Structure formats: structure tokens, C-alpha cells
A = this chain, B = another copy of it.
């Protein structure tokens, strides 16, 4: 009988990331008790502690970890235990330097920080299984252990791909298993193009350091290969944990906007997904489309709400988008979790401001509203040593409670019941499309994320809840399906979407949709390839606009301006809703509609908002247009009304305090 099946989970629970190995042992009991008193239920530990578990090859030291687990258990804390594979110790690396990955510049990436391994390394795989088994044998049924986290933040520090060593050795074999013959590979990649045809599998290397840019099909398969290596690496750990730690969940903490691997593939086999939410660092690195220093400044101390929300919705959807209690036993949180939640300043952005008063509570509330069952703060106490001394924790370096601690102490989590997030609108996402899109952007200011977030933010600005789901996911139940940047559309995908439209869903597509084949070529019959019949049109022109150029668009909804991208269509069955005015596209179709399908050819925030409004209205999806920085998110019959602005806002006759939220019952605002 394990504890992990015993506690009901009626509302959001909290946790933190703790590192007992970083502090003297006399701090362990008071820390665990203080965590419990603060209202935390979970503590995540040990992901970087390999050198303490196995100080020398084969010499395990479990005593300290036994004590740590018993201490948390005694305090009533439930532990998420991690496999320590993000940090192979020095003795392992120096004995087997072939574990080290290689960067795209051909340099071995060295020991001295973390993630210094190649996922394809058979030597490292063996040690990964060995340490996982050793931990699972010892702690698989420990009553403190609620579940497991595999490794930590796959792909962080650009580590998803290794361009040499083990990965370079494994890549040809993976290709041979995929394609069978070199003729098949050469054809699929279009290798005739620049005489790049291979006559031996061993001739194929990773697509780096090529004289000019590599073949995008070569790149696409290398990215798929690297992703598969991560999935395999994790699956080996999961299998051992399933065997030796029954009744415990297994998860992984994914990273913000990480693009180095196919998250859907890697999420398979996990019980639920968690992610690491750093809103302020995210804003410095991922500005929303159309925004610049003004947006970064306005939201400098809260983060931009839609960027955060997108990640919540993305990670909630990795395993199907329908989280519910009970998959791991009654009362077990099923995720998604925020495994690491910023609770003070971070240390890794160019600028690392303090969060605004109330931001930690707001982030926590938003996480709940977007489906999180647990929010776990990073980290318990600020580190006094090494790389992250400038990063905050709930406790300061001197162990006094920091700003985040106070906000957590004052937060009433009973207002956050768990339950379903129910969205009528789906935004489609696909890592293959992302890779192809960004490999050949054609317009330096346009990217897959920019294009996708343009649509997502427009929907959020209309007060609509959104699921972010895989482009091949089940579409039943969605009134509106949006494909902002799904450039790769196979025949199967086209058939899948067609069926959804025939079943009554409205489909909205962005530019470049169905431009590319699964192999990464263009459809020889041109965009929209196998989707042409559904769209009722063909591509006419595409125009990459330099930042100082724009393109006017006219239609019933008014006049708009495109920037970065404008493409036009030759309509067959489709009707034209908007037309380009002036320039080389003058008079050509900008937005077209064929029954339930609308295609928006121009990159334009306002046009997208206008067209989506019409489609949502047609689909009877309720909208609540919202001012900047005000957002609505709904879960379990409640509505979270949020003000992310640094100033108070009056909305709908209600005064919203700066950086604040309100939970409404069945609220519509």
C-alpha cells in the first residue's frame, strides 16, 4: 500500500524543487517542516545528484538520500524523485569521453556544467539504465516517492542534437531502417539537386558545416533522428521505472518553446507532462509577434500572458489535451504540472528584473486555469554556490523568506479546483512543420512561432479558450480548428482535416499551409498539394516583405496591412474575401473561403483577428473581446479573470487591480 493512491486532490497543490545535497544536513528537517507549513505538498529532488549517489564507479552512497527521503516523509511531503542523467559525473565522462556531444561547429561540448551527453551514445545509454535501475531498486516503493521525473529539461542549452560522435555514427543506421534503400532516400531528399546522391549509407553525416546551407530534407530527417534518440533514451528509463516502481507516476519537465525534438513523440509513455515556467526570462527571449521593446517593457515584471498561456495549452495537449483526475489512481494529480515555477528573479536572461508584486500568485492562478494540477516553485532556497547564485528561491541565500515565499503563503489554493479545461477551438501544432518553416524562412522576421502565436494571441484577445494540439490529433468536438503554420501536409493529414470539415468544423489556415510534403519537398502540383480540393484554390504568388515594406489588403472587414509575408491565390471553387491592393499582388486574392475552410495569406495581426472573429461567430463560439493585458481563462466551471498590466484597468464596469486575478463562478467576465 503506497501513499500515492491515498490522498484526494480537490484543488491545485503546490511544491518546490529542493537540493538537500547543496546544504548542510542540519538544514534538512527544518526545511521540510517549513515547506509543509507553507502549504507545499510536493518536493522534487536529486536530478543533479549523481556524483553523490555514486561518488566513484560502482560505489553507491545511498545513506544521504535515504535520510533525505525519510525526512521529507516524516514531514508529510511527497517526493518527485529524478533520474540524475542530466549530469553524468566526471569519472564517467573522463573514462568514456565518447559520451560527450558535439556542437554544430564541430566542437566537443565539454564537462563542467550539465547535459554533457549524446542521447545516441550506447555507452551512456548503458549507464543511464544502470543508475536508473539502482535508484528504482532502492526507492521504487519508498512511501515518500509519489513519482519520477526522467532526467531534466531535455534539449536545454541546445542539447537535443549532437553533430558528431555517437549521433553521427547512429544516424546512417536510423536512415537505413527508415528508407530501406539509398534510392528511396536519395529520391525522398531530392539529392539529385546538387549531385548530393549517396551510394553508401556510411557516406551520410549530420547536416552541419556544409559549404552552403544543407538540404532541408537532410536537416528534417536529422532532426527527426535526434528526436527519436531522446524518445528512446527516455523510454529505457521509463521501462525500468514501470518495472520497479509500481503505482508511481513518471513524467518529464519540458522547456519553454523548446524546438529541438518532437515533444509529442517524447511525451509518449509518460503519465502526464510537466514544464518549467519562467515568464520573465521567456519574455526577454521570445517576444510576441509585432511587439518590440514596448511590450517587453510593459510586461517586464509579469511576462506576456499569452506567451505563458500558449505553453500551458501546448503542454496540456501533449498527451491528448484532456487531463482528468484518476489516470494514476484516484486522487493522484495527473498533470500537467508546472514542475519549475519562477518565484523571484531568474539568472539566465540578459536582464533579470524582479517580478511585480502579485506576479507569483498570478502565475500560479494562470497555471491552474490552464490545467495545471500542481505548481512547484524553483527553488526552495537560493543556491549559494556555482552557476545559479544569482537565481532566486523561496528562501534567500541567508534562509530568510523572499518575496515569492510571502506570496505563496498568502495564496488560497482552495479557490482552484481541479477539473477539465474545455475549449471549442484548437490550434494545430507540428514539429516537422516547425523545422521546415524555420529552416527556410524566406523572410528573416517570420518564424513558425511568430506565425502560430499571431493566431493564438488573436484568439486569446477574443477571450476564447484554446487547445494546442497535434496536427493529426482527434478534432472531434472542436467548432473551429486553426492551422497557422502547418506547412507539411501529407495526404493522410489532408484527409483527416477534410473529414473534420465535412463533420462541421471550421478550418482556418495561415500562409504556406500544405506547401511541403512529408519528405520536405514542395508538392509538385504546388501548394495546397493534397489539400487543394478542400481549399478550392492554388497558390499564386508569395512575397517576402522587408521590414520597411508593407502590403495593403482590402475587404468587407476594412483595410489592413500585411508585413513580413503576403501570398495570393488562384481560386477555383473558393471565393475571395480580401484582395491585395497595390504592389505586385494588386488585385490578387488575400483571404479566400471554400465552405468551411478559410485561408489567410497575409501576415497581419489585425486581419487575422478580424477574420477569426467572423469564423468564430459563424461557428457559434462565444467571444469576449479583451483589452491588452486583460485575459480570461476557464477551468472546472470557474473563470479566471486576470489583469497582467502594471496599472489598474476598468473592464466591464469592474476595477481590476494591477497584476491581479479574480476567480469567477461560471463567469463570462
Contacts and interface: CB of A to CB of B under 8 A. Distances in A.
Interface string A408-448: 00000000000000000000000000000000101111000
A90 interface: yes
Contacts of A203: 90-91, 93-94, 111
A445 B352 CA distance: 11
Contacts of A108: 106, 209
Contact of A521 (B89, B389, B527): B389
A389 B345 CA distance: 44
Given A48-B193, A113-B215, A522-B397, A354 B543 contact: yes
Interface in A578-612: 583-585
Given A300-B548, A387-B212, A546-B284, A350 B192 contact: no
A209 B547 contact: no
Most chain B C-beta atoms within 10 Å of own C-beta, residue among A355, A386, A544, A584: A386
Contacts of A403: 541, 584
B297 A546 contact: yes
Given A191-B386, A385-B217, A440-B347, A211 B116 contact: yes
B49 A195 contact: yes
Given A52-B195, A111-B196, A189-B386, 12 more contacts: A49-B192, A87-B194, A94-B202, A110-B211, A113-B211, A216-B389, A300-B548, A345-B542, A347-B442, A354-B543, A397-B526, A403-B584
A585 B300 CA distance: 15
A350 B216 CA distance: 17
B584 A357 contact: yes
A214 interface: yes
A389 B213 CA distance: 13
Nearest to A382: B522
Most chain B C-beta atoms within 10 Å of own C-beta, residue among A189, A397, A440: A397
A56 interface: yes
B21 A192 contact: yes
B398 A525 contact: yes
23 contacts: A21-B192, A48-B193, A48-B195, A87-B195, A90-B198, A94-B200, A105-B107, A110-B210, A116-B211, A194-B387, A196-B386, A214-B387, A296-B548, A297-B548, A300-B549, A351-B443, A351-B444, A353-B543, A354-B543, A386-B521, A390-B440, A397-B525, A397-B527
Interface string A368-399: 00000000000000111111111000001110
Interface string A522-546: 1111110000000000110111111
Nearest to A53: B195
Nearest to A294: B548
Contacts of A527: 397
A547 to B, nearest CB: 7
B386 A215 contact: yes
Interface string A4-46: 0000000000000000011000000000000000000000000
Nearest to A112: B210
Copies of this protein chain in the complex? 3
A91 B196 CA distance: 10
A190 interface: yes
Contacts of A297: 546, 548-549
Nearest to A24: B524
Contacts of A355: 584
Interface string A92-107: 0110000001000111
A492 interface: no
A70 interface: no
Contacts of A539: 396, 398
Interface string A214-231: 111110000000000000
Nearest to A436: B389
A50 interface: yes
A196 to B, nearest CB: 6
B109 A210 contact: yes
Contact of A524 (B84, B193, B200, B384): B384
